[in-house]
Amino acid sequence: GACLDRIARVDGRLRAFITLDAEGALARARALDADLAVGRRRGPLHGVPLAYKDLCHVRGLPTSCGTKTAEYFTSDVECTAVTRLTGAGAVTLGKLNMTELALGPFGDNPHHGDVDNPWRRGHVAGGSSSGSGAAVTAGLAYGALGSDTGGSIRLPAACCGIVGVKATYGRVSRAGVMPLSWSLDHLGPMTRTV
């Protein structure tokens, strides 16, 4: 609930989210609370609110990849990283804004609005995982997934002052993620601290 309240207060300026799934997040949180009440813990991320760059296919949510088309990318499988995070108990808040088709370093988007840097109004959040960087920095989500082909995790992490990891190639599955360059794409976490 706290993340959803914060999103309602500040995301109008930041434009970090493309799709917010408040109802789904609250339903998941209630189910996880009920699990805890009977001593069942889903994993190390039990109840942790996360959000995902809008090139990750998440069942039940559109994947625009930052384009004007709500369902630009579809997949037969959910993003493997999202499935694993959900299995570890995470709560999905929604899908995060990005440079259109992950092609740019600034976080500008003509369809969903340019992502604003949480630290300084009117400054870039970095791209292309701009919404991921801004959401984590502003406390809208406790962590996020970004993708990196030529700097798209590292640039927003640097611009927003957070941690972003471009893992060893192939270490994190890219199944269920819109491809940009098969030989260079990486998926990785973005968080406030190590």
The catalytic residues are 53, 128, 152
Enumerate the H helices of the chain as residue ranges. Answer: 2-14, 22-37, 80-87, 130-137, 154-160
Q: 130 φ, ψ to 5°? A: -65, -45
Q: Which two tokens stand for residue 44?
A: 């190390």
Task: Give the 3-state secondary structure of residue 91.
Answer: strand
Which value, to the nearest 10 degrees, does the dihedral of the CA atoms of residues 73, 74, 80, 82 take? 70
Q: Please say whether the beta carbons of 187 and 171 come within 8 A.
A: no
Give the up-direction half-sphere exposure of residue 13: CA atoms within 13 A in the CB hemisphere: 12
Cα–Cα distance measured from residue 45 to residue 31, given in angstroms and rounded to the nearest whole number: 14
